[in-house]
């Protein structure tokens, strides 16, 4: 039975590209040490049995938000998709709900004035829909599905771009885990009018996370994260799905202030 | 370098069925666009196009998928050639994953560094050629 030369754990048969225990690259029967700064540890969310569900969620969120570099250095790059997905959906949904509720609150208190986005009627109409009661209901009901789609779509596109830029040193799971844990920034949506800021912080966390998880430079990671937002409408759609509550709330507030 | 050594397909036990997941996510995204269209607020929501007036790299992908669902392969390629090609790759990948899932396995593709280096510029050219086409036809 082959063992990983980095952590000495038994490797699966048939062998995979990465050691499931420490994430080291496995090549030709031996494991290469992980690249500098690459992840080999655990994160609070994956210690839920010891810490408790709520405690693990809070601790994990605190660590991602306050020390993302340290967090992503410790994050295991393998171990299964369900656990980070659950965290991503929970954090994203809490942020989405908060933003949607604030948006509906702003509308109820201030009226229906909308911020005109460069005269784009389609966008104005969409914002109108999302600010209303129907929009709130849609976000509550479809929110989790929207977030799951957005997480997979974002991870797939980031990973594809990392492959193109020669930065995908780890498997898809590493990218997916980064994207899921970056949803911690969505929790900032709980603070009124911070929906947009949380969207920006998600991008920052993705850049730091991809850089640490794949052991690549910040520039390559930034290119993989920012290029799709500049050039792909499907990313805008996915991102907008998550950030619409915040955008709509901010738009309503800005429109009211312009009045 | 033979293709066999450069490109290796495996079916490791317990691996993530990525093809199946991506296909499911694509289907969910497609349903979301259908839903948005049904609300009467339009099916296209491309910030890049709204801002610049120029189609983005994935503009026409939803329409291409619609054509594919109608089994209009030619129409799909006209809408967005690269998105159509990606969908055509995803379909057998997802089906293989679905079959392997019964045995607790999933399809894994390992590409050698040499082949990856050779493919990278080709993919970049394909992406930009596809975008050029979308801009030229005003997608």
Domain that holds residue B52: 13-137
Question: 3-state DSSP helix/strand/coil percent for chain A, to nearest 5?
Answer: 70, 5, 25
Higher pLDDT, A242 or B108: B108
Mean pLDDT for chain A? 76
Contacts of A238 in chain B (CB under 8 A): 29
Q: Does A250 have pLDDT greater than 90?
A: no
Nearest to A240 among B29, B45, B117 (CB): B45
Measured over all CA atoms, what is the biggest interatomic distance in chain B, rounded to whole angstroms?
Answer: 55
| Whether pLDDT at A116 is above 60 | no
Chain A residues with CB under 8 Å of B15 CB are 16
Total of domains in chain B = 1
For residue B99, tell me if it sits in a domain: yes
Put simply, whether B124 touches A (Cβ < 8 Å) is yes
**Does residue B3 fall inside a structural domain?**
no
Across the interface, do B29 and A164 touch by the CB < 8 Å criterion?
Answer: no
Chain A residues whose beta carbon lies within 8 Å of the beta carbon of residue B45? 122-123, 126, 233, 236-237, 240
In a domain, B1, yes or no: no
Angstrom distance (rounded) from CA A209 to CA B38:
37
Q: Do A125 and B41 touch (CB under 8 A)?
A: yes
| Tens-place pLDDT, residues A149-182 | 889 988 988 998 898 888 888 888 999 999 999 9
Which pLDDT score is estimated for A66? 94
In angstroms, what is the C-alpha Rg of chain B?
Answer: 18
Cα separations in angstroms, A233 against A11, A73, A103, A173, A201:
41, 31, 24, 24, 20
The Cα-based distances of B36 to A130, A192, B33 in angstroms read: 11, 27, 5
pTM of the full structure: 0.72
Cα A53 to Cα A49: distance, rounded to the nearest angstrom: 7
pLDDT score of A61: 95
Q: How does pLDDT run across A209-246, given as a tens digit for each residue?
A: 999 999 999 999 999 998 887 777 665 555 555 444 44
* Complex ipTM more than 0.90, yes or no: no
Best of B57, B83, B135 to mutate (most A CBs within 10 Å, chain A): B57
Of the candidates A146, A230, A236, the beta carbon closest to that of B32 is on A146
């Amino acid at each position: 039975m082959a063992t990983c030369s980095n952590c000495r754990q038994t490797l699966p048969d048939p062998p995979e590209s990465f050691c499931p225990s420490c994430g080291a690259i496995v090549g030709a029967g031996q494991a290469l040490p992980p690249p500098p700064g690459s992840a080999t540890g655990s994160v609070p969310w994956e210690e839920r049995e010891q810490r408790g569900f709520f405690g693990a969620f809070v601790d994990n969120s605190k660590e991602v938000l306050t020390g993302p570099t340290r967090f992503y250095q410790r994050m295991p790059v393998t171990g299964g998709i369900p656990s980070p997905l659950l965290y991503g959906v929970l954090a994203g949904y809490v942020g989405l709900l908060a933003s949607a509720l604030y948006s509906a609150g702003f509308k109820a208190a201030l009226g229906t004035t909308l911020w005109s986005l460069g005269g784009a009627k389609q966008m104005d109409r969409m914002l109108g829909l999302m600010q209303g009661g129907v929009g709130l209901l849609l976000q509550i009901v479809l929110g989790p599905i929207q977030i799951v789609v957005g997480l997979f779509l974002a991870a797939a596109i980031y990973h594809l771009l990392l492959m193109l830029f020669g930065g995908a040193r780890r498997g898809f799971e590493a990218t997916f885990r980064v994207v899921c844990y970056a949803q911690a920034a969505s929790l900032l949506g709980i603070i009124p009018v911070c929906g947009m800021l949380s969207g920006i912080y998600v991008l920052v966390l993705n850049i730091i996370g991809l850089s640490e998880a794949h052991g690549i430079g910040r520039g390559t990671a930034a290119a993989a994260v920012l290029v799709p937002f500049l050039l792909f409408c499907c990313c805008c759609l996915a991102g907008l799905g998550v950030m619409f509550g915040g955008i709509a709330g901010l738009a309503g507030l800005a429109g009211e202030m312009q009045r | 370098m033979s293709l066999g050594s450069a490109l290796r397909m495996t079916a490791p036990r317990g691996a993530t069925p990525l093809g199946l997941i991506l296909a499911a996510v694509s289907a969910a995204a497609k349903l979301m666009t259908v839903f948005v269209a049904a609300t009467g607020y339009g099916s296209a929501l491309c910030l890049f196009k709204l801002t610049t007036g120029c189609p983005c790299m994935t503009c026409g992908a939803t329409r291409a998928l619609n054509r594919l669902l109608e089994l209009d392969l030619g129409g799909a390629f006209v809408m967005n050639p690269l998105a159509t090609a990606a969908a055509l790759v995803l379909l057998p990948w997802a089906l293989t994953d679905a079959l392997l899932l019964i045995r607790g396995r999933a399809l894994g593709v390992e590409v050698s560094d040499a082949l990856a280096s050779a493919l990278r510029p080709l993919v970049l050219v394909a992406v930009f050629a596809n975008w050029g086409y979308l801009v030229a036809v005003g997608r």
